Structure 1
Amino acid sequence: MQNSKSIIAAVAVLVLIFSIYIVITLAADSEKPISVQIDGKAYTFDPPPMIVNDRTMVPMRAIFENLGAKVTWDEKTNSVIAFKVNTTVVLQIGSTVASVNGKEITLDSPAMLYNDRTMVPLRFVGEALGYNVFWIEEKQQVVISKKIPTTFEKRVYKTVGGKDFHIYIYKPVDFSKDKKYPAIAFFHGGGWKQGDVDKIRPFAVEYAAKGFVTALVEYRLQGTDKITTAIPCISDGKSSIRWLRQHAEEFSIDPNRIIASGGSAGGHVALSTSVFDTFDEQGEDLSVSSKPNALILYNPVVNTLVNKGFMTDEKVLLSISPYHHATKDVAPMVIFHGTNDQSVPIKTIEDLQKKVQELGGVCILHKYPGKGHGFFNEKTLMPDLTNKGDAFLDLIRFFE
C-alpha cells in the first residue's frame, strides 16, 4: 500500500512538471517576449519572463534585488527568503503557500526551478514588497511602480516664544499599526538662515515609499527667528528626534531605528543630534534620548571653523563644530559629497571620516566627481543616492 501511494505521488509530480513545461513552451512559442518596467526603467532577465498558469514568472534574485530586497536561500527547505525594511517574504519551491511577515498567502503559481534557475511569481513578489503591479496586455508588459504617499500629518513638536514649530509625518501607503517601522527625520539646508522643508521633501516621499515613517522638520532660522548662533537649530534637531521617540507607539516607529538626515546646514543639524550631549531644550524629558541610531548626510557642514555661516564668534563656532567634538559614540554615518563643492570643502569631510574611523566608528564617504554643493537635489541622482543609503544600512545591520 505504501509503495502504491509513493508511485501515485511520483506520477502526480511528473504530471505537474509536464503540464508546466507545456504551458511554458506554448507561451514561449505563441507570444512575443514579456517586458518588465520598474519605476519607469526597463529591465531584462535571464532567463526571460514566462507565463505559467496566467502568472508572469521571473528569476528570483534579479527581481528581488531590483526591488531593493535582500535575498537568501535556505538549502534545507528549498526556500527563498527575501527581506526589505520590515517585510519578510518566504517562498518554497513547488509550494502554493507563501509567507509574508508570517502570514500565509495562497499562490496560483508556486516558485519553481527552470533551467537551474529559481523562478518566482512577479505580481506576488512586487505587491508583497509594497509595489503596484500592472499588466498591459497590448504591450505584453508588466509595469511595477512604488506606492507613493501623497498625504502627510502636520504636528507641532515644540513651541518657542509663542511660535509653533512643525514636523510633517509621511507614512508608507500600506501603513499598518501591526508593524514597527524605521523612521528618518530630514533637515533642510540654507545656511541656518533660510530655507524650508520643501527643499528636502522628495527624500521624505521616496523613503516613505521604501517603507519608512519619514519626518520633515522645521527649525529656527536666523532670517525669520532672529537667532544669533546655530545653537537653537541644534536644539530643535534634538527636540524633533526626542519627539519621534516619545510618539513612537502612535506612529508605529521602532525607537531603536531612527535616522537623522539632512543637507548642508541641515546636515550639520542632523550630525549634531548625534555628536552633542548639550544644547537640549530646557524643560524637555531628558530621559528620552535625542540621539539617532544612524546618519545619512548630504554635503553636510562638519567644521564650523571653516563654514561659519552668519556667525563670527570663534568660541561659539568651535563649540558647535561636529568635527571637533566627535567621539567614538557618534552614530554610524554615510556621507554623499561632490568633489567640486565650493561651499563645503571636501577636505573637511575627509578629515571627519579619518577622525571617526580612527575612533573606531563607521563613516562611509561617497564622492561624486565634479559635483558642486547641493548636487543631491538632482532628480536623476535619487535612485543612486537611496540605493547607496540602503547598502549602508545593510552594512551596519540596521534592520537586524
Structure 2
Amino acid sequence: MICRKHILILLIVLVAYSFGYSQKQIQYKQIDSTALFMQVYQPETIEPAKKYPAMVFFFGGGWNGGSIDQFKPQASYFSQRGLICSLVDYRVNQRQHTTPFESLMDAKSAIRYIREHANRFHIDPSKIIAAGGSAGGHLAAATALIEDYNENTDNLSISCIPNALVLFNPVIDNGPGGYGYDRIGDAYKKFSPLHNIKKSAPPTIFFLGTDDALIPEETAKYYQTVMKKVGSKCELYLYNGQGHGFFNYKNFEYYKKTVSEADKFLQSLGFLNKEPFIEIN
C-alpha cells in the first residue's frame, strides 16, 4: 500500500517538474509611469459556474529586490490543486526607488483588485489566501493586520484582508531589534505585523528554519502565542538547522515539506479537498 503522504509528495514532485499553467499577465495597478502586473495561474479546467479559492504570492527580497519567479513552483502546484494563483509584482527600492511603505500599498492594491474582479477570475472572494516569503511574508501578513498605508487611488470599500495566511520565514517584527527598523523607524508601531495582531486575524501557517539569521525562533513562537491569545489559529512549523529561504524550490526536500503542510492546512480550512490523498491497495 502507498500511504497518503507518499501520494502527496509524488504529486508535488510531478507538478514541480512541469511548471505549467501560467495563463495571463494582468495589470492590477498604474502609479504614474509604473505599471504593475500579476501573473495568473489557473487550474487546467475551469468550470464557469464554480468559484475557486485564490492564493496570492508576494516574493521576498527585503523590499529592495526580488522576482515573482520565486513562487512559480508553489503557484503551479496549487493551481493544479484547484486554486487560482497570482504571482504579484510590487514596487521595490532597486527598480522603483521606493520604500517598504509603497511595497505594502501595492500588496493591498493587489488583493483589492483580485477581490473586486473575483467574478472575472472565477474566484470566491471569501476564500483569498495571502502567501509570501521573508519581506513578501511581511506583506502577506500586513495586508491582514495593518490598517494604514493604503493607496489613495484604491477603492477602500473593498477589503484587502485575506481569509488565510501562508507565511514562509516572514519578516513579522519591524520594531527595535527586528528586521528593517533602520528603514521603518518609529512607523513600526503601525507597520509591523507582530505589533498589530488583533482579534479576527486570519488563520495562519508559519514556516521557519531554526537557524534563520533574520527571524529568531523566539519571535515566531511569540507571534503564535499572541495569535492564540486573540483566538486566531496559528500553526508554526520549525525546521531544525535550516536558514533563511530554506523553503525555496532549489532546496527541494524542504520545498516539498512546506508545500505538503500548507496543503493540509488549507484542507483544514475547507479551501482544498483531499484529491491527492488516494488510497492505493
How high is the TM-score relative to the length of structure 2? 0.87
Counterparts of 1:1-400 in structure 2, within 5 Å, are 44-45=1-2, 149-227=20-98, 229-305=99-175, 306-309=177-180, 311-377=182-248, 378-398=251-271
Q: Indicate how the Cα distance of structure 1 residues 67 and 244 shifts in structure 2: closer, same or farther if over 3 A, else same.
A: farther
Q: Percent identity?
A: 34
Q: Deviation at 1:194?
A: 0.7
Q: Structure 1 stretches of 5 or more lacking a match?
A: 1-43, 46-61, 69-130, 132-143
- CA gap of 1:200–1:151, structure 2 versus 1, over 3 A, is closer
1:253-274, Cα deviation, whole Å (9 max, x unpaired)? 1111110000000000000000
Q: 1:322 to 1:151 in 2, by over 3 A?
A: closer
Kindly state the Cα deviation for residue 311 of structure 1 after the two structures are TM-superposed.
Answer: 3.6
Shift of residue 179, structure 1, vs aligned partner: 2.1
Q: Is the 8 A contact 1:185 1:260 kept in 2?
A: yes
Q: 1:188, 1:199 within 8 Å by CA — same for their partners in 2?
A: yes
SS of corresponding position for 1:159: strand
Q: Is the 8 A contact 1:299 1:344 kept in 2?
A: yes
Q: Return the offset for 1:394.
A: 2.8
The amino acid that maps onto 1:342 is A
Determine the C-alpha separation between the residues in 2 that align with 1:310 and 1:324.
13
* Kept in 1: contact 2:81–2:272 (CA 8 A): no
Shift of 1:152: 2.6
The equivalent residue for 1:40 is: none
C-alpha deviation, 1:398, in angstroms? 3.8
Q: Which amino acid aligns with 2:139?
A: V
Structure 1 SS opposite 2:50:
coil
Residue 363 of structure 1: CA displacement? Answer: 0.8
Q: Give per-residue Cα distances to partners, 1:62-107, cap 9 Å, x unaligned.
A: 57x7655xxxxxxxxxxxxxxxxxxxxxxxxxxxxxxxxxxxxxxx
The structural deviation recorded for 1:175 is: 2.4
RMSD: 2.1
- Larger-Rg structure: 1
The alpha carbon displacement at 1:354 in A equals 0.8
TM superposition score normalised by structure 1: 0.62
Deviation at 1:199, TM superposition (A): 1.6
More helix as a share of residues: 2
TM-superposed CA distance for 1:181, in Å, is 1.1
Give the SS at the match of 2:132.
Answer: strand
Q: Structure 1: how far apart are the matches of 2:180 and 2:94? A: 12
Is the contact between residue 146 and residue 190 of structure 2 (CA under 8 Å) also seen in structure 1?
no
CA distance in 1 between partners of 2:93 and 2:22 (Å): 29
Q: Are the structure 2 counterparts of residues 312 and 384 from structure 1 closer, same or farther at C-alpha, using a change threshold of 3 Å?
A: closer
Q: Is the 8 A contact 2:52 2:124 kept in 1?
A: yes
| Structure 1 residue 360, shift from structure 2 partner | 1.1
1: CA distance between counterparts of 2:113 and 2:184? 31
Give the Cα separation in 2 of the matches to 1:243 and 1:299. Answer: 26
Amino acid at match of 2:72: R
**Structure 1 segments of 4 or more deviating over 6 A?**
none
- The answer to which structure has the higher strand fraction is 1
CA contact (8 A) 2:135 2:171 kept: yes
Distance in structure 1 (CA, Å) of the matches to 2:114 and 2:184: 33
Greater relative contact order, per chain length (Cα 8 Å cut-off, separation 6+): 2
C-alpha separation in 1, matches of 2:14 and 2:244:
30
Q: After superposing the two structures, state which structure 1 stretch, 160-169 or 300-309, moved more.
A: 300-309
Per-residue Cα deviation, 1:165-186 (whole angstroms, up to 9, x for no partner): 1111011112232321111000
Counterpart amino acid of residue 251 in structure 1:
F
SS in 2 for 1:267: helix
Residue correspondences, number? 265
User: How far is the alpha carbon of 1:150 from its aligned partner?
Assistant: 3.7
* 2:165 partner letter: L
